[in-house]
């Protein structure tokens, strides 16, 4: 019997499914096997408890052992609006006017000790994050103020009920630290996960040598067929930049997942040619300049506006991009997000005027008006080279062009934070580094301390709070965007509470035999290594 | 730099009638140079660096803090004799200005530590008893205390700045000087003429200043020169760890931090020259100190 | 004599308590809060309540005096408490990092002395000859070179030489295996830091050996031995060296302190997971318990060494003892 059209269509359908299931990295078929050796640019994480810690070292060390509910799409990590399921079966549409999200959980998911993972575990883990019990720490409690309850009505369903509908919920839910723990253990001993590892992720915990390395082996019962490709991984702690570069050069390790400065990338590319592949992306981190509004003359908006008008972001960014990991000029919203300002919109804001001479003349005029010509002050900074010190050095140079004499006051991390919190500085380099791109929550950094505790500008501004409050509740995207523009102009220009420097830039050079990993705008994302394979 | 020439006051009073050959200072210096070629070489290095530091404003071709983003990590060339660093700053100028910082730190720490150590050591040896015991206990604690914590504490509490780094480095040096001076002074204390002087009714101050201090001058001076080198090295180590002098003060140790290692393979001159400057300076001081000790040690004098 | 020994030993206790008070005070004077550093250094948002829960968990909200008593009493019992940064016992953290530091220290001292004693002796024997000059220059260079700079140069040299020789750069392993598991890999990792640290120690030992030898060679009994017609080599080995080495041996104890300092920076340069790096990290993280424990260990070792040296001096020179 001759092959009929129906038969051909079936074959085509099967082929289409097969093509869709293959990783989107290219036409090569992934090879199974091998151990990925990578470096973690930290000394050692304080603990491996994702609910408690906020450092990327915890994620780089232990994310491969755990599953999450939803996450940024590992095949399209640059997208700031695409979220896909990890433990759920499909992304739900919110019901009840956008206030209820119902997730269906996969079946056949097992913890590494063999016990099944059900919706109860998911709900218990999320309750530990959103409403931690007495004596427990959850570092990200404040992200989830919009959540009312989390319940598991049956073993395969988790229901999130919100207090109000907001587009900030899903990005918050995709938090890379929101690991799913076992309910049984959380009930018995909530502190267990501070010292132990038990997850349901693609790799099983195989040993931690304090300060040295962390090892994982393939989880044979992983719920996604065919994954992970690697037999295991070995994460070596190597804080020093020079060591990491040399290790990649000498093939002692294949890569690191944080980001390297441009000079290292150039060096590796020059020496290793096509043995090195480089992926680059804008980074959801930025250095800000925060004047201390309690210190004269920074309580005067004219002086603050002068400070920001002196800075030539447009010409500074390309020059800095050669030596520091910064790159893109942007406003308060991450440059890749739909809510971000366009170049034209930016150029209307102080600090981004296209004509720098005009900008600096205006700055000088404002200083004169405020009686602060030739002002001398100290810029407090953290003792980290990339890019803090480079940015600060550039800023001081820029400010000298309007006659300001600024000296840098560099402090180690502990005293730096103390200085921030005690407000003992004149002007400080500040920073805002978030995981999932969630502009509505991320710009909270610019709100006064009374609303956002990590704001160190020492100011109060009810008008700013009012401007902000409308945004999370606004469901129409165009209107929301306009609100964001108004908020941005108010913060950066009218009141000049804080100002921007170029956004950070993530550069990952790695050995070309590593495949299946795609760079994302944050070094916290996409770290479970499930789709990584070695072409060796 | 004055070399303490032993004169009659250093000789015990009861030996006043022994003839002592006096020599003019210049003649003694000439003999020193001839006998100690290495020491002279060291002194020459030190003098060159001191001149560089003092006249930095005139001889440095660029400002040490002027960034030039168009000329970053450039190799040594006619425009920049020692190349530029990752901010485009001229290395030669930074090293020249760094000499000033190094010598300020080195000499301040050495002088303050030595004088304090001298006072404490001689006082402790002379008065003896409980005072000696307690003082030694306190000095033991300070000497055993790791420099890095002291430095971090001083820098964090009092702020960064050259003077605070000087304080941080001086404190652990004091007990080392005190110990050496004390053991030297102790052996003098036991010599009979001290008791004889007390019996004659001489006051404490006269005995200490006229008899004990001049006799511990030799180890004191040697320690002084050694401390300069040690202080410079300590400052370099602290800056390397991020706990010492901070930007934008040009200092050799600071130049070796961070960027130097990052660019070590592509721009090795950023790492090589500051380290060379440190090594050369401390080398010069050590050579000079060695020669000084050889010259002042009476046992080795007539060879 | 016994009274002196007892008096000296008793002095150790107030010294340790004094050092404990000093480190306790200094650490708490340094501005900063470990909980804030732990939660905030990433730059993201963190909850103020998390900071307070952290304080309660670490016992930082208790009165200072109680914290101090806990610390000192724990030290004398041998219980150093829990590291504030990682939550694991301090001794466990230290024990995990101790082997590599110890190995480097031992190798450094061994290599240093193997080089220094023969060279120092040679230098003394051939005083003022060109060989003496060269050896003296080498030893002073060892004192003058910052050890971390030497380490940087070492790494550069290894990479470039291996690239020139083998076509691709070779780098020592970046993860540590104990010497009994894989001796070659272990040694290839440890030898370079050991050389870096050892250079300075060997310089000091070289100079001390030289000057001690010079003094001994001038002694009358050496002159007598020479007059007797003894072979020079026997004179050196049997008479001179033994007496000259006494100050050198005491020097090893004193140099231990410098060794620890050298370890701290060298471990940074070579990225080794040792005590020195743990020390720097715990100071920067403001991990009070860990820093206090490490400082007390260093101080105790130093005080003990000094006590032994003092007792040795008193035994040698009866005038020094104060009854």
Tens digits of residue pLDDT in A143-201: 888 899 999 999 999 999 999 888 889 889 999 999 999 999 999 988 899 888 999 99
- A159 DSSP β-pair partners: A102, A151
Listed residue (C272, C156, C251, C256) closest to C209, CA to CA: C251
In this prediction, residue C44 carries a pLDDT of: 65
Mean pLDDT over each residue of chain A, to the nearest integer: 88
Interface of B with C in 176-195 (CB under 8 A): 183, 186-187, 190
**CB–CB of C146 and B275 under 8 A?**
yes
Interface of B with A in 40-69 (CB under 8 A): 67, 69
**A412 contacts in B (CB within 8 Å)?**
152, 156, 242-243
C17-39 burial by CB neighbour count: b if 16+ within 10 A, else e? ebbbebbbebbbebbbbbbbbbb
In this prediction, residue C167 carries a pLDDT of: 78
**C268 contacts in B (CB within 8 Å)?**
240-241
Helices (H), chain B: 25-35, 37-54, 56-59, 91-127, 129-144, 147-158, 162-189, 192-200, 204-207, 213-215, 217-241, 252-255, 259-262, 269-296, 298-301
Q: How far is CA C245 from the centre of its chain?
A: 21
State the pairing for strand pair A157-162/A100-104. antiparallel
Q: Is the CB of residue C55 less than 8 Å from the CB of residue C62? A: no
Q: Kindly report the number of other CB atoms within 10 A of residue C53's CB atom.
A: 19
Burial class from Cβ neighbours inside 10 Å (0-12, 13-18, 19+) for residue C164 reads exposed
**CB–CB of C155 and A209 under 8 A?**
no
Res A416 pLDDT > 90: no
**C87 contacts in A (CB within 8 Å)?**
46-47, 194-195
Return d(Cα B134, Cα B143) in angstroms, integer: 14
Residue A300's SS3 state is coil
ipTM of the shown complex: 0.78
The dihedrals phi and psi of C112, each to the nearest 5 degrees, come to: -60, -50
Counting as contact any 3 or more CB pairs under 8 A, the partners of C are: A, B
Q: Is the CB of residue A73 less than 8 Å from the CB of residue A174? A: no
In this prediction, residue A182 carries a pLDDT of: 94
**CB–CB of A412 and B258 under 8 A?**
no
Return d(Cα A492, Cα A307) in angstroms, integer: 11
Six token digits for residue B160: 């960064």
**CB–CB of B283 and C148 under 8 A?**
no
Res B129 pLDDT > 70: yes
**C169 contacts in A (CB within 8 Å)?**
246, 249-250
Q: Kindly report the number of other CB atoms within 10 A of residue C60's CB atom.
A: 17
**B293 contacts in C (CB within 8 Å)?**
none
A79-110 burial by CB neighbour count: b if 16+ within 10 A, else e? ebeebebbbbeeebebeeeebebbbbbeeebe
Q: Kindly report the number of other CB atoms within 10 A of residue B188's CB atom.
A: 19
Q: Is the CB of residue B212 less than 8 Å from the CB of residue B185? A: yes
- Tell me the average pLDDT across A314-325: 89
Q: How far is A210 from chain C (nearest CA, A)?
A: 7
Six token digits for residue A48: 């491996």
Highest mean pLDDT: which of A391-400, B131-140, C229-238? A391-400
Res A19 pLDDT > 60: no
In this prediction, residue B1 carries a pLDDT of: 45
With residues binned 3-state (H G I as helix, E B as strand, rest as coil), the percentages for chain A, rounded to 5, are: 35, 20, 45
Q: Is C144 on the interface with B (CB under 8 A)?
A: yes
Return d(Cα A106, Cα A158) in angstroms, integer: 11
Q: How far is B66 from chain C (nearest CA, A)?
A: 25
Return d(Cα A432, Cα A443) in angstroms, integer: 9
Q: Is B79 on the interface with C (CB under 8 A)?
A: no
Q: Is the CB of residue A513 less than 8 Å from the CB of residue A254? A: yes
Burial class from Cβ neighbours inside 10 Å (0-12, 13-18, 19+) for residue A2 reads exposed
Res A75 pLDDT > 50: yes
Nearest CB to C175 within list A138, A194, A212: A212
Q: How far is B282 from chain A (nearest CA, A)?
A: 27
- Tell me the average pLDDT across A292-307: 91
Six token digits for residue C298: 């260093």
Higher-confidence residue of A175 and A78: namely A175
Q: Kindly report the number of other CB atoms within 10 A of residue A450's CB atom.
A: 12
pLDDT range class, residue B172, cuts 50, 70, 90: confident
**CB–CB of B143 and C322 under 8 A?**
no
**CB–CB of A394 and B67 under 8 A?**
yes
- What is the residue whose two structure tokens read 């016994």? C2
Nearest CB to B153 within list C14, C30, C155: C30
Return d(Cα B27, Cα B49) in angstroms, integer: 25
Per-residue pLDDT for chain C (323 aa), expressed as one digit of tens each? Answer: 677 778 777 878 888 888 888 888 887 877 778 888 787 776 666 777 778 888 887 888 888 888 888 888 888 888 888 888 888 889 888 988 888 888 888 888 888 888 888 888 888 888 878 888 888 888 888 888 888 888 888 888 888 888 888 877 788 888 888 888 888 888 888 889 999 888 888 888 888 888 777 777 777 777 777 788 777 777 777 666 666 666 666 666 566 666 777 788 888 888 888 888 888 888 778 888 888 888 888 778 777 777 777 777 666 655 555 54
- What is the residue whose two structure tokens read 């690191």? A256
Q: CB under 8 Å to A209, separation ≥6 — which residues?
A: C96, C175
Counting as contact any 3 or more CB pairs under 8 A, the partners of B are: A, C
Q: CB under 8 Å to A36, separation ≥6 — which residues?
A: A230, A232, A233, A234, A254, A514, A529, A532, A534
Quickly list DSSP for C30-90: S---HHHHHHHTTSS---HHHHHHHHHHHTTTS-HHHHHHHHHHHHHHT---B-TTT-SBH
**CB–CB of B156 and C144 under 8 A?**
no
Q: CB under 8 Å to A16, separation ≥6 — which residues?
A: none
Res A20 pLDDT > 50: no
**Inter-residue long-range contacts of A299-304, CB under 8 Å, 24+ positions, other chains counted:** A300/A370, A300/A372, A301/A494, A301/A495, A301/A496, A302/A366, A302/A367, A302/A369, A302/A370, A303/A366, A303/A367, A303/A370, A303/A372, A303/A375, A304/A495, A304/A496, A304/A497
Q: Please give the span between the terminal C-alpha atoms of chain C, in angstroms, as a whole number.
A: 8
Counting as contact any 3 or more CB pairs under 8 A, the partners of A are: B, C
**CB–CB of A385 and B159 under 8 A?**
no
C98 cis-preceded (ω within 30 degrees of 0): no
Quickly list DSSP for C118-139: HHHHHHHHTTTSHHHHHHHHHH
C210-221 burial by CB neighbour count: b if 16+ within 10 A, else e? bbbbbbbbeeee
Q: How far is CA A31 from the centre of its chain?
A: 30
Nearest CB to C156 within list B233, B264, B279: B264
Res A348 pLDDT > 60: yes
Burial class from Cβ neighbours inside 10 Å (0-12, 13-18, 19+) for residue B217 reads middle
Nearest CB to C44 within list A239, A251, A434: A434
Q: Is the CB of residue A510 less than 8 Å from the CB of residue A249? A: no
**CB–CB of B156 and A414 under 8 A?**
yes
**CB–CB of B137 and C152 under 8 A?**
no
Burial class from Cβ neighbours inside 10 Å (0-12, 13-18, 19+) for residue A115 reads middle
Q: How far is C20 from chain B (nearest CA, A)?
A: 9
Question: For A220-262, what is each residue's pLDDT tens digit?
Answer: 999 988 889 999 999 999 888 888 888 898 888 999 999 999 9
In this prediction, residue A23 carries a pLDDT of: 45
Q: Is A321 on the interface with B (CB under 8 A)?
A: no
**B72 contacts in A (CB within 8 Å)?**
322-323
| Number of Cβ pairs < 8 A linking chain B and chain C | 148
pLDDT range class, residue A486, cuts 50, 70, 90: very high
Q: CB under 8 Å to A306, separation ≥6 — which residues?
A: A362, A363, A364, A366, A367, A370, A372, A402
- Give, as one character, the DSSP assignment of residue C274: S
**CB–CB of C159 and A249 under 8 A?**
yes
Q: Is the CB of residue A146 less than 8 Å from the CB of residue A169? A: yes
Nearest CB to C42 within list A39, A55, A137: A55
Listed residue (A339, A322, A463, C261) closest to A330, CA to CA: A339
Res A106 pLDDT > 80: yes
Listed residue (A455, A52, A31, A522) closest to A259, CA to CA: A522
Q: Please give the span between the terminal C-alpha atoms of chain A, in angstroms, as a whole number.
A: 45
Return d(Cα C91, Cα C9) in angstroms, integer: 26
Return d(Cα C280, Cα A68) in angstroms, integer: 35
Return d(Cα C27, Cα C286) in angstroms, integer: 7
**CB–CB of B261 and A242 under 8 A?**
yes
Listed residue (A15, A44, A328) closest to A211, CA to CA: A44
């Amino acid at each position: 019997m001759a092959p009929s059209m129906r038969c051909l269509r079936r074959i085509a359908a099967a082929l289409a499914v097969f093509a869709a299931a293959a990783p989107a990295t290219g036409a090569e078929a992934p090879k199974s096997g091998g151990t990925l050796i990578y470096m973690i640019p930290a000394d050692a994480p304080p603990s491996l408890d994702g609910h408690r810690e906020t450092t990327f070292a915890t994620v780089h060390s232990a994310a491969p052992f755990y599953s999450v509910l939803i996450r940024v799409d590992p095949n399209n990590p640059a997208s700031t609006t695409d979220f896909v399921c990890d433990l759920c079966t499909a992304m739900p549409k919110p019901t009840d006017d956008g206030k209820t999200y119902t997730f269906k959980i996969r079946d056949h998911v097992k913890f590494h000790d063999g016990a099944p993972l059900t919706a109860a575990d998911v709900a218990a883990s999320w309750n530990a994050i959103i409403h931690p019990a007495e004596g427990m720490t959850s570092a990200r409690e404040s992200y989830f103020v919009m959540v009312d309850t989390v319940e598991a009505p049956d073993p395969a369903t988790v229901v999130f009920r919100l207090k109000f509908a907001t587009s900030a919920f899903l990005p918050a839910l995709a938090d890379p630290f929101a690991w799913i723990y076992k309910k049984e253990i959380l009930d018995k001993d909530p502190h267990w996960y501070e010292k132990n590892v038990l997850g349901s992720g693609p790799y099983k915990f195989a040993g931690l040598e304090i300060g040295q390395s962390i090892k994982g082996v393939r989880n044979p019962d992983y719920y996604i067929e065919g994954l992970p490709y690697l037999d295991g991984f070995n994460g070596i702690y190597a804080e020093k930049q020079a060591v990491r570069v040399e290790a990649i050069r000498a093939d002692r390790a294949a890569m690191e997942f944080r980001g390297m400065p441009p000079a290292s990338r150039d060096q590796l590319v020059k020496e290793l040619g096509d043995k090195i592949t480089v992926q680059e992306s804008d980074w959801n981190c930025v250095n800000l300049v925060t004047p201390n509004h309690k210190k004269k003359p920074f309580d005067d908006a004219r002086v603050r506006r002068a400070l920001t008008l002196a800075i030539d972001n447009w010409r500074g960014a390309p020059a800095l991009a050669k030596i520091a990991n910064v790159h893109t000029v942007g406003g308060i919203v991450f440059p890749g997000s739909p809510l971000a300002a366009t170049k034209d919109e930016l150029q209307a804001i102080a600090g981004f005027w296209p004509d720098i001479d005009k900008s600096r003349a205006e700055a000088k005029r404002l200083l004169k008006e405020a009686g602060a010509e030739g002002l001398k002050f100290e810029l407090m900074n953290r003792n980290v080279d990339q890019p803090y010190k480079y940015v600060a050095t550039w800023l001081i140079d820029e400010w000298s062009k309007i006659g300001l004499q600024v000296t840098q006051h560099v402090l180690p991390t502990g005293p730096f934070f103390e200085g921030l919190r005690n407000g003992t500085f004149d002007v400080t380099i500040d920073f805002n580094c978030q995981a999932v791109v969630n502009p509505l929550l991320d710009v909270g950094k610019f709100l006064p301390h009374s609303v956002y505790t990590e704001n160190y500008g020492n100011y109060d501004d009810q008008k700013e709070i009012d401007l902000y409050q409308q945004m999370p509740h606004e469901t129409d995207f165009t209107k929301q965007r306009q609100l964001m523009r108004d908020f941005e102009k108010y913060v950066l220009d009218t009141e000049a509470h804080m100002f921007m420097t170029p956004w950070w830039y993530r550069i990952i050079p790695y050995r070309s035999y590593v495949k299946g990993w795609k760079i994302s705008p944050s070094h916290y994302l996409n770290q479970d290594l499930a789709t990584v394979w070695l072409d060796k | 730099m004055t070399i303490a020439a032993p004169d009659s006051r250093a000789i015990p009073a009861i030996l006043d009638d022994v003839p002592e050959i006096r020599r003019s200072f210049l003649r003694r210096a000439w003999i020193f140079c001839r006998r100690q070629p290495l020491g002279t070489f060291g002194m020459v290095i030190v003098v060159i660096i001191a001149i560089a530091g003092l006249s930095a404003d005139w001889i440095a071709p660029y400002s040490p803090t002027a960034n030039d983003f168009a000329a970053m990590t450039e190799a040594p060339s006619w425009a920049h004799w020692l190349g530029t660093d990752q901010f485009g700053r001229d290395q030669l100028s930074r090293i020249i200005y760094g000499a000033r910082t190094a010598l300020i730190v080195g000499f301040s720490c050495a002088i303050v530590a030595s004088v304090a150590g001298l006072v404490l050591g001689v006082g402790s040896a002379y008065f003896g008893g409980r005072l000696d015991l307690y003082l030694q206990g306190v000095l033991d604690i300070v000497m055993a205390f790791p420099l890095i914590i002291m430095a971090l504490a001083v820098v964090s509490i009092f702020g960064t700045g050259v003077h605070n780094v000087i304080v941080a480095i001086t404190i652990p040096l004091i007990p080392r000087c005190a110990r050496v001076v004390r053991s030297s002074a102790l052996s003098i204390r036991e010599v009979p003429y001290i008791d004889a002087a007390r019996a004659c009714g001489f006051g404490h101050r006269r005995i200490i200043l006229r008899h004990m201090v001049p006799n511990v001058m030799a180890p004191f001076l040697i320690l002084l020169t050694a401390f300069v080198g040690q202080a410079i090295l300590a400052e370099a180590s602290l800056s390397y760890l991020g706990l010492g002098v901070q930007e934008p003060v040009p200092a050799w140790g600071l130049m070796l931090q961070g960027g130097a290692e990052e660019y070590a393979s592509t721009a090795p001159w950023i790492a090589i020259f500051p380290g060379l400057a440190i090594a050369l300076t401390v080398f010069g001081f050590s050579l000079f100190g060695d020669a000084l000790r050889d010259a002042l040690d009476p046992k080795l004098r007539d060879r | 004599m016994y009274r002196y020994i007892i008096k000296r030993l008793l002095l150790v206790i107030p010294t340790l308590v004094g050092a404990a008070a000093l480190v306790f005070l200094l650490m708490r004077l340094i501005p900063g809060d470990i909980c804030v550093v732990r939660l905030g250094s990433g730059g993201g948002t963190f909850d103020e309540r998390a900071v307070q829960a952290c304080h309660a968990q670490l016992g930082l909200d208790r009165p200072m005096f109680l914290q101090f008593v806990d610390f000192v009493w724990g030290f004398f019992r041998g219980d150093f408490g829990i590291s504030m940064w990682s939550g694991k016992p301090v001794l466990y953290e230290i024990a995990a990092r101790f082997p590599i530091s110890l190995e480097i220290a031992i190798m450094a001292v061994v290599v240093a002395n193997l080089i220094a004693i023969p060279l120092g002796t040679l230098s003394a024997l051939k005083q003022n000859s060109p060989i003496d000059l060269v050896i003296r220059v080498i030893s002073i260079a060892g004192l003058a070179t910052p050890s971390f700079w030497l380490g940087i140069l070492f790494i550069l040299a290894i990479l470039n030489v291996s690239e020139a020789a083998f076509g691709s750069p070779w780098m020592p392993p970046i993860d540590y295996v104990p010497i009994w598991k894989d001796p070659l890999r272990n040694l290839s990792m440890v030898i370079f830091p050991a050389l870096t640290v050892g250079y300075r120690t060997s310089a000091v030992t070289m100079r001390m050996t030289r000057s001690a030898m010079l003094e001994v060679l001038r002694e009358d009994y050496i002159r007598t031995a020479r007059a007797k017609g003894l072979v020079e080599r026997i004179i050196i080995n049997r008479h001179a060296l033994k007496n000259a080495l006494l100050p050198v041996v005491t020097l090893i104890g004193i140099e231990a302190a410098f060794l620890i300092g050298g370890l701290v920076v060298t471990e940074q340069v070579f990225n080794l997971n040792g005590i020195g790096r743990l020390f720097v990290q715990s100071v920067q993280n403001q991990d009070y318990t860990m820093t206090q424990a490490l400082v007390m260990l260093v101080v105790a070792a130093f005080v003990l060494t000094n006590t032994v040296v003092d007792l040795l001096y008193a035994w040698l020179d009866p005038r020094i003892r104060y009854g």
